[in-house]
Amino acid sequence: MTEGTLLSVEDVIVDLPTPRGNLRAVDRVDLTIGAGRTLGVVGESGCGKTMLSRAILQLLPKRAKLSGRVMFDGQDLLQLSPEKLRKLRGRSLAVVFQDPMTSLNPVLTIGTQLIETLQEHLELDMAAATRRSVELLAAVGIPAPEQRLMQYPHQLSGGMRQRVAIAIALSCEPKLLIADEPTTALDVTIQAQILDLLAREQRRRHMAMILITHDLGVVAGRTDEVAVMYAGRVVERAPTPALFKKMRMPYTEALLAALPKIDAAPHTPLPAISGRPPDPTRPLKGCSFSPRCRYAWAQCHVEKPRLEESNSPAHQFACFRPIGTGAGAGA
């Protein structure tokens, strides 16, 4: 079913001044997401995923320079006043950060943090906000929610704290939820529970969601579309089934190869991407991945490929030697 666009990121650039020079954290990114859809943003640490999410949320460092356009639900977020942005965040645009110990206030009880959010954005009285808080904690799988309202974040496990952060994010029925590496530092079984919880709530509430992760395996069964980022740019974007069926970008292939295999023998070394990510304060003239790409040739080192459509308009990639073609791998 075709749905209207809820969020449109258009030619967004984020520059950060550093002692070593200008650092381009996000480089001309274009993304769209429709209501009720889930977009996965994937890439290794330092590729610009989190900075892109902060550009959408308008929570960039003070000295950051942002250009481009971020349209959310018909509003240009770059043109909104701080007061209007504050009302929008939490109410229609919510976020779950990767570390609940830093996103939750350590000196306030769980109940205080939930109730204050509900009173601020929904203008509920104390009794109604308390009842709603209990319902939210129960909905995200926290046992004895009435007791948890009186506890502080340090009294809960990492998984429980992340569930509280999700409850706060969902409390005002947002139209878009940004989950920035929501399972970092959690053990594998808890990771699966948190991801399943997010997927269930996303479907139940018909909200859009951006799931940011470094793990292609996380987005495989939980997203409608995937955008792969490298060195601040989107280098491949496609519907999730199409990406895994026929990925075109060598970097995407390398990310997938680095995932552990269930049928691999014990102690089998994981394939690693050779080399190091480029220095963002020293941008390369050609493709940013070319020094680490085993398929790179002369053109890759002197010219930067554009994100362009393949045989399907929905599948875009930035590569001169895409996988599956006569010039690229797998030919």
Digits of tens for pLDDT over the chain (331 positions)? 345 799 999 999 999 999 999 999 999 999 999 999 999 999 988 899 999 999 999 999 999 999 999 999 999 999 999 999 988 988 899 999 887 778 899 999 999 999 999 998 998 999 999 999 999 999 999 999 999 999 999 999 988 999 999 999 999 999 999 999 988 777 888 888 888 989 988 988 899 999 999 888 889 888 999 999 999 999 999 999 999 999 999 999 998 888 777 788 888 887 888 888 888 899 889 999 999 998 999 999 999 999 988 777 789 999 999 997 655 544 3
Instruction: Assign residue 59 the CATH number of its domain.
Output: 3.40.50.300
Residue 29 is assigned to a structural domain of this protein: yes
How many angstroms separate the CA atoms of 80 and 60, rounded?
A: 15
What is the distance between the alpha carbons of residues 164 and 113, in angstroms, rounded to a whole number?
Answer: 10
Would you call 50 helix, strand, or coil by DSSP? Answer: helix
Structural contact between residues 257 and 294, judged by C-beta atoms closer than 8 angstroms: no
**Residue 127, in any domain of the structure:** no
Could you give the angle at the alpha carbon of 214 between the alpha carbons of 266 and 16, nearest 5°? Answer: 145
Which of 61-88 are b and which e, b meaning 16 or more Cβ less than 10 Å from the residue's Cβ? eeebebebebbbbeeebeebeeeebeeb
Residues whose CB is less than 8 angstroms from the CB of residue 117 and which lie 6 or more positions away in sequence, other chains included: 90, 168, 171, 172
Determine, yes or no, domain membership for 314: no
**23 domain-assigned:** yes
Cβ atoms of 59 and 70 closer than 8 Å = no
195 assigned to some structural domain: yes
Distance of CA 297 to the CA centre of its chain: 32
Specify if 64 maps to a domain.
Answer: yes
Query: How many structural domains is the chain composed of?
Result: 1
The answer to whether position 296 is within a domain reads no
In a domain, 232, yes or no: yes
Full domain range(s) for residue 205: 5-92+172-281
DSSP state of 235: E
